[in-house]
């Protein structure tokens, strides 16, 4: 005890002598660096705000120079400027409109006729120019004719001092970011008018359109009053995060430029400095530890050995024994560690076998393959000569054979079934010795039949049985017992998953087969369609298509791709397909309306991660036209009679991902002999052995080579199979549609 206390006192003293001053120094260094970084950050914001302000002022002056040039031309030509002169100002700058006033203040000419109705003679942008008090003006942001912006005005005077031409440009703040590109991943730049309203913002352009009030911030008010404002506590109205910000006046305009950066970005170097301080403290700790070990080298030699062996055990190496013979507590610890090493070796071997068994059981969802994996796992883990799995309910004596040795009959087999019923009824492991076992090893070592219940969520649904050579201990806590318990948990989940998967696949397969069915002929159109699943196991995918008449010579053309696979995908496919069909009957003249309504239904009825890409068109055989809308779907293609290929690009976002999504629609001519091809992304994104995608260009090439509507889908699939060598990476659905030339001719 004395030596232990002495060691503790020495180590504590060394730690205190080194750690306390180093920690204090590191804390002071961090605080000092923090203050410096704050000053540097605010200075950078101020410099950047100066740059933004100078650029904005130069841009305003550039517009004024252009206005002055127009005004000079007016002096030379006399009268008011021509409309083309004014449009020089709107075409070259982000202006909503330009206006020219005669000396009386009447609007003589405007690029927007609605401006002619405005009385601008008393407006702050023109009144001082008409009266001769100023030659130019810059006003605060306001809403004019539904547009948010501000006036830049300029007067040109004749030799007698009268205002010959008073011009004004109303700058559209929603376009100002196009002319002043200050974009940065972390830094935001703003321009604020004298009233505190935002007219330019790089981080969130809509702030300028709403005229957000920055004048409520003290550092901005300081700049509006002509000072230099800065803060470390500016809360962004966009992200809600704290930022470092600075505001600077823009010349003598009364306007202000603002620059801000995320606080986390500004103090990043401080965090690195903190880690440096921590590193120094850690180094001091290690130094103290090394010093202590040097002082107590004799005692710690045994500890080194124990640490080395423990480390090897921790890494799974059980080959080294501590072998300490010091006659003290370290030797006792050595013996305890040696016992633990041997015990852990046995446990790790068992866990590794269980992990292999788990991987084998989870590798497939086919019932036959799961049954085979169960037998292999039981033989490896528990040495089972025979393995069986019987399924049933505790209250029902009948048992279903999930796994049973084909050649196993006789008294022992009957005894195994009775033991399984007992384990099933009691939901507990049962075991029995077989005295008259066959085989030399069984007679020498004895045979034990063991039956363990299979349970999921507290419900017993079957039994895992083993016929083992040797009288193993199956009592609670023994190796055989806990390994069997772990194995039965894995087997139970694997069997339940396999049976549920089989049921789900049968249901979903039946559902999708029904969803993919089309009649062989539809009067008025010719068509072809194919569907190919990625793999046999993934037969139930999310691709679907449909072609249906809507009366009066109109037909609905539908093809889509639902996210996911299996029963969930098939259910969502049915919902999407039949919802579109229903809305098409009600809103048949508007594919955009149909997709919008369908998207709202999917958004309200499905999880947030599910969505649908879909092409929906209305083919009118009488008008010979196609009206379509596409929700984020790969571009459909239309081959014209002259052989040209026209792509039908998406007209809206994916359906079901957002609420109240807006879709547009297009109308294109569609004549007999022309072919429409719609497909899912599995066609163009499939790759060959060299990693090259099939791509849209190959679809165009095959479509251009006289691909017909009644066989086109199959021909495209054959081309894809030849390109990939028959390998499938994704589901593919293709449909080709054309007008029936015979009916079109008769009509």
Contact 498, 560 (CB under 8 A): no
pLDDT of 424 above 60: yes
DSSP 371: H
Whose tokens are 């085979």? That residue is 372
Structure tokens that stand for 541 in this block:
């995918």
Both tokens of residue 240? 């809600």
Torsion angle, CA of 168/172/177/179, rounded to 10 degrees? -30
Q: 460 is written with which tokens?
A: 């017993």
DSSP element (H, E) containing 256: strand 255-262
Q: Single out the residue of 668, 667, 675 nearest to residue 737, CA to CA.
A: 675
Contact 619, 555 (CB under 8 A): yes
pLDDT at residue number 25 = 72
For the sheet with 187-192, list strands across it.
198-201, 187-192, 255-262, 242-250, 229-235
- CA–CA dist 641, 671 (Å, integer): 8
Percent of the chain with pLDDT over 70: 77
The burial of 667, by beta-carbon neighbours within 10 Å (0-12 exposed, 13-18 middle, 19 or more buried), is given as middle
Taking 70 as the threshold, does the pLDDT of residue 269 lie above it? no
Kindly state the average pLDDT of the residues 180-188.
76
Confidence class for position 211, pLDDT limits 50, 70, 90: confident
Per DSSP, which regions of 58-162 are E strands? 95-101, 107-110, 136-138, 142-144, 147-157
pTM over 0.85: no
Residue partners of 354: CB distance under 8 A and separation at least 6: 381, 483, 486, 487, 490
Residue 379: closest CA among 367, 387, 368, 389: 387
pLDDT of residue 594: 92
Residue 74, pLDDT > 70, answer: no
Q: How far apart are CA 449 and CA 387, in angstroms?
A: 10
Max mean pLDDT among 206-210, 443-447, 473-477, 562-566 falls in 206-210
pLDDT tens string 605-627: 776 567 889 999 999 999 999 99
Give the span between the Cα atoms of 157 and 236, in whole angstroms.
45
Instruction: Look at the block and give the residue holding tokens 């005295």.
Output: 435
Each residue of 20-60: pLDDT tens digit?
777 777 677 767 777 888 888 889 889 998 999 999 999 99
Q: Give mean pLDDT, residues 186-206.
A: 88
Across 281-285, 418-422, 458-462, 643-647, which has the greatest mean pLDDT?
Answer: 643-647
| Closest to 717 (Cα-Cα) out of 693, 680, 674, 683 | 683
pLDDT band for 603, please (50, 70, 90 cuts).
confident
**Half-sphere CA count of 475, side-chain side, radius 13 A:** 1
Comparing 286 with 456, the larger pLDDT belongs to: 456
Confidence label for 557 from pLDDT (cuts 50, 70 and 90): very high
Q: Given the DSSP bridges, would you call strands 612-620 and 554-562 parallel, antiparallel or unpaired?
A: antiparallel
Higher per-residue pLDDT: 528 or 9: 528
Query: Of 202, 171, 166, 201, which Cα lies nearest the Cα of 184?
Result: 202
What is the pLDDT averaged over residues 513-533? 81
pLDDT class of 729 with cuts at 50, 70, 90: confident
pLDDT digits (tens, 9 = 90+) for 131-151: 888 889 999 989 998 899 999
The pLDDT value recorded for residue 171 is 92
């Amino acid at each position: 005890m004395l030596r232990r206390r002495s060691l503790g006192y020495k180590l504590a003293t060394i730690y205190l002598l080194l750690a306390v001053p180093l920690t204090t120094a590191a804390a002071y260094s961090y605080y000092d660096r923090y203050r410096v970084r704050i000053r540097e950050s605010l200075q950078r914001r101020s410099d950047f705000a100066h740059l933004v302000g100078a650029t904005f002022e130069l841009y305003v002056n550039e517009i004024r120079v252009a206005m002055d040039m127009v005004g000079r031309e007016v002096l030379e030509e006399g009268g008011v400027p021509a409309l083309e002169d004014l449009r020089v100002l709107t075409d070259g700058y982000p202006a909503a409109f330009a206006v020219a006033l005669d000396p009386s203040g009447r609007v003589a000419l405007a690029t927007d006729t609605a401006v002619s109705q405005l009385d601008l003679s008393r407006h702050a942008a023109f009144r001082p120019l008409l009266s001769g008090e100023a030659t130019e003006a810059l006003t605060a942001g306001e809403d004019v004719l539904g547009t948010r912006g501000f006036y830049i005005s300029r007067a040109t005077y004749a030799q007698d001092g009268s205002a010959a031409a008073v011009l004004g440009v109303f700058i559209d703040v929603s376009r100002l970011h196009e002319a002043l590109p200050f974009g940065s991943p972390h830094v935001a730049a703003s321009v604020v008018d004298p009233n505190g309203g935002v007219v330019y913002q790089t981080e969130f352009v809509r702030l300028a359109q709403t005229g957000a009030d920055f004048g409520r911030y003290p550092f901005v008010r300081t700049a509006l009053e002509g000072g230099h404002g800065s803060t470390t506590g500016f809360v962004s109205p966009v992200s809600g995060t704290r930022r470092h910000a600075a505001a600077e006046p823009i010349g003598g305009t009364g306007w202000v430029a603002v620059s801000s950066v995320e606080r986390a970005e500004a103090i990043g170097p401080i965090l690195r400095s903190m880690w440096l301080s921590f590193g120094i403290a850690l180094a001091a700790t290690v130094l103290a530890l090394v010093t202590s070990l040097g002082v107590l080298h004799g005692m710690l030699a045994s500890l080194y050995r124990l640490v080395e062996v423990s480390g090897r055990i921790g890494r799974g190496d059980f080959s080294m024994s501590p072998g300490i013979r010091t006659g003290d507590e370290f030797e006792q610890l050595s013996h305890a560690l040696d016992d633990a090493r041997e015990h852990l070796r046995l446990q790790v071997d068992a866990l590794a076998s269980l992990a292999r068994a788990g991987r084998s059981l989870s590798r497939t969802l086919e019932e036959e393959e799961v049954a085979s994996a169960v037998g292999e796992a039981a033989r490896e883990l528990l040495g089972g000569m025979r393995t069986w799995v019987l399924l049933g309910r505790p209250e029902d004596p009948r048992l279903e054979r999930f796994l049973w040795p084909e050649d196993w009959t006789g008294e022992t087999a009957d005894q195994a079934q009775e033991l399984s019923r007992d384990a099933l009824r009691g939901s507990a492991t049962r075991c029995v010795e077989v005295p008259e076992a066959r085989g030399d090893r069984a007679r020498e070592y004895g045979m034990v039949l063991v039956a363990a219940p299979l349970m999921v969520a507290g419900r017993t649904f079957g039994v895992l049985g083993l016929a083992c050579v040797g009288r193993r201990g199956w009592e609670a806590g023994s190796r055989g017992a806990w390994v069997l318990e772990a194995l039965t948990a894995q087997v139970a989940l694997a069997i339940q998953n396999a049976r549920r998967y089989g049921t789900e696949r049968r249901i979903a397969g039946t559902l999708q087969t029904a969803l993919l069915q089309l009649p062989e002929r539809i009067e008025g159109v010719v068509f072809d369609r194919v569907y190919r699943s990625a793999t046999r196991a993934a037969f139930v995918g999310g691709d679907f298509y449909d072609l249906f008449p809507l009366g009066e010579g109109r037909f609905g053309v539908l093809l889509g791709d639902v996210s996911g696979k299996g029963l969930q995908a098939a259910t969502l496919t049915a919902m999407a397909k039949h919802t579109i069909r229903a809305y098409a009957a009600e809103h048949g003249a508007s594919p955009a309306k149909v997709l919008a309504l369908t998207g709202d239904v999917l958004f309200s009825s499905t999880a947030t991660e599910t969505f649908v890409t879909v092409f929906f068109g209305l083919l009118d055989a009488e008008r010979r036209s196609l009206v379509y809308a596409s929700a984020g779907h790969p571009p459909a293609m239309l081959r014209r009679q002259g052989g040209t290929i026209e792509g039908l690009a998406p007209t809206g976002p994916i359906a079901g991902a957002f609420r109240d999504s807006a879709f547009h629609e297009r109308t294109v001519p569609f004549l007999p002999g022309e072919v429409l091809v719609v497909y899912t992304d599995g066609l163009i994104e499939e790759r060959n052995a060299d990693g090259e995608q099939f791509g849209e260009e190959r679809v165009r090439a095959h479509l251009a080579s006289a691909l017909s509507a009644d066989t086109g889908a199959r021909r495209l699939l054959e081309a894809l199979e030849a390109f990939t060598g028959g390998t499938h990476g994704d589901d593919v659905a293709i449909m080709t549609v054309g007008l029936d030339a015979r009916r079109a001719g008769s009509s």
